[in-house]
Structure 1
Amino acid sequence: MPNIIIIERDINYLKIFIKCMKESGFEVVCMNNTKLVSQVAQKQLPDLIICSLEIAKQNNCNFWNNLCQNFVTATIPLIFLINEASEIYQCPEFAADGYITKFCTTEELNKAIKAQLAKQAARKHGYAIQSQQVLNSPSIGNDQPNVQSILPSIPRLNLVFEFIAANYDKPISLCDVAEALGYSATYLTTVVTQTTGKSLQKWIIECRITAAQILLLQTDQSVNQIALKVGYENLAHFYRQFRDYHGTSPQVWREVEKSHNSHQLNKDKASLNSNNFGDFQ
């Protein structure tokens, strides 16, 4: 049964939400502030957190940064509860997984919750497949992972992607790439998006996440060291983007992948020994 933490002070709204969520088969933990959210989340490991944006703003969203920096809670999706749609654009730095208004219908609330739970399940399935692609990725001379293989080979954009591959570990942005290559930012992002189906910023992020995967598997560096090495100045931002791609935190991903690879290696060795013994007989 999915477990949800909801953070809201308005008793009337809480009653409506609790009734709706319990009728849909969800377990609910109610809180009226963010002081103990981190502790409760570590203990309960909820499938989703719904928090009033007003309360989050008062806390400067510190509770969410704390959750993102803890490998146990970094994978928990967050939905902000807002009064009106315009509030979505007031605090873009909080980067929630979703938003719902306090005046939404029961059906809309259920859809928002189920969408986040389904997205989380899909992420976990997808990252298991993607993780195998980094095992054989080489590193380049300056000890930075070579991410060129994940970038598209498009003649008229070769200089763009070569620049990204060489500089993803620096705090570069769309404007930096455009300026370095003599394009306007608007023109460059339009061409890249229309040609590849992804924005230029998306390609930069994918390079950083791929490089982080390689370093997580091939080195013993700490997650924080790796985040800084692949171009992240904000550690909470790295944790969040990694979770968006892989459905889990960098620490958990590393442990799972190394355990899986070790198991597969032992299995291969056992198979090889068995075959050699058969040949000897």
Structure 2
Amino acid sequence: MSQTVLIIEDEAQTRSVFLSSLSFEGFGAVGASCGSEGVELAQTHHPDLVVCDIMMPDMDGYQVLSTLRQGSDTASIPFIFLTAKATMPDLRVGMNLGADDYLTKPCTVGVFIDAIATRLQRHSDLHPPSDETEPPTSIFPDCPQLSSVFQFIEAHYQQPIQLRDIADVVGYSPAYLTSLVNSQTGRSVKQWIIERRMTQARELLSKTKEPIKKVAADTGYTDAGYFNRQFRQIHGVSPQAWRQEIDSCQHE
């Protein structure tokens, strides 16, 4: 089954060229000449990806994206802005609203198709059709735009993780990813990694008799001393003391 791309663009010639190129490449292509029409088509067709111009007369691209991100059926659709201007303030507005990428006009058909194919592939890789990929923990907030980030952390928190590792997988620059996670959650990527590791550490400390060094290794710390210091910094006591407190409470 071909994937469907919705193009929201008020310039008829640009819209026609993009729709034709998508059809030629085997995509399903749907076009809207204004923002309000685009929102309606997104809600009825549920496309696999939306490409939307920013500057439009009735409803600009920011309003379109904001509306789609608020709908349960459209919140997770990958969204690419098409814009003749891409200043840092513009990028930040789109980022805060949940944009996945930007294409600057004018752009060639080749660049256009490559950006769409790349974004669709990344979305497919990070959202396979199986509930088994969902994190089995509730520590992460319900944020569709960051689900791929949290899925990566969930799958790899027991290993060394660098910011660039996550950025490469989800298709963002490290700087963009840092700002996005901070703006959406009020925490840094590193803080979420630590939180996931500490959740597992508390689980192991309370339910197993594993040595502290083994607990550290099982939660992604190759240096048990660093694990001890970080645990103490967060919980106010050492892992061993925390375990003893839990044990005493359970036997009271």
Residues 41, 126 of structure 1: CA spacing in aligned structure 2 closer, same or farther, 3 A cutoff?
Answer: closer
Separation in structure 2 between the aligned mates of residue 172 and residue 14 of structure 1, nearest angstrom = 36
Tell me what 1:39 maps to.
Answer: 40
CA contact (8 A) 2:35 2:61 kept: no
Tell me what 1:96 maps to.
Answer: 99
Residues 74, 13 of structure 1: CA spacing in aligned structure 2 closer, same or farther, 3 A cutoff?
Answer: same
Pairs within 5 Å for 1:62-101: 62-86=63-87, 88-89=90-91, 91=93, 92-101=95-104
CA contact (8 A) 2:80 2:100 kept: yes
Alpha-carbon distance, 1:65 to partner: 2.6
Alpha-carbon distance, 1:125 to partner: 2.2
Residue 112 (1) aligns with residue 118 (2): no
Tell me what 1:11 maps to.
Answer: 12
Pairs within 5 Å for 1:217-256: none
TM-score, with structure 2 as normaliser = 0.50
Aligned-partner SS, 2:119: helix
Separation in structure 1 between the aligned mates of residue 111 and residue 61 of structure 2, nearest angstrom = 27
Aligned partner letter, 1:119:
R
Aligned-partner SS, 2:127: helix
Alpha-carbon distance, 1:20 to partner: 1.5
Aligned-partner SS, 1:119: helix
Over residues 143-186 of structure 1, what are the superposed CA-to-partner deviations in whole Å (9 max), with x where a residue is unaligned?
xxxxxxx77899xxxxxxxxxxxxxxxx9846xxxxxxxxxxxx
CA contact (8 A) 1:38 1:63 kept: yes
Alpha-carbon distance, 1:52 to partner: 0.3
Pairs within 5 Å for 1:1-281: 1-55=2-56, 58-59=59-60, 61-86=62-87, 88-89=90-91, 91=93, 92-125=95-128, 128-131=131-134, 133-134=136-137, 173=186, 198-200=189-191, 203=193
Alpha-carbon distance, 1:124 to partner: 1.4
Alpha-carbon distance, 1:85 to partner: 4.0
Separation in structure 2 between the aligned mates of residue 90 and residue 56 of structure 1, nearest angstrom = 22
CA contact (8 A) 2:22 2:28 kept: yes
| RCO higher in structure (CA 8 A, sep ≥6) | 1
Aligned partner letter, 1:121:
S
The gaps in structure 1 that reach 5 residues or longer are: 138-149, 155-170, 175-188, 190-197, 211-281
Over residues 238-279 of structure 1, what are the superposed CA-to-partner deviations in whole Å (9 max), with x where a residue is unaligned?
xxxxxxxxxxxxxxxxxxxxxxxxxxxxxxxxxxxxxxxxxx
Aligned-partner SS, 2:103: strand
Separation in structure 2 between the aligned mates of residue 107 and residue 124 of structure 1, nearest angstrom = 26
Alpha-carbon distance, 1:64 to partner: 2.3
The gaps in structure 2 that reach 5 residues or longer are: 140-153, 161-183, 200-252
Separation in structure 2 between the aligned mates of residue 89 and residue 39 of structure 1, nearest angstrom = 25
Q: Percent identity?
A: 23
Separation in structure 2 between the aligned mates of residue 36 and residue 122 of structure 1, nearest angstrom = 30
RMSD, matched Cα: 3.8
Separation in structure 1 between the aligned mates of residue 126 and residue 185 of structure 2, nearest angstrom = 27
Aligned partner letter, 2:41:
V
CA contact (8 A) 2:55 2:83 kept: yes
CA contact (8 A) 2:53 2:81 kept: yes
Tell me what 1:237 maps to.
Answer: none
Tell me what 1:165 maps to.
Answer: none
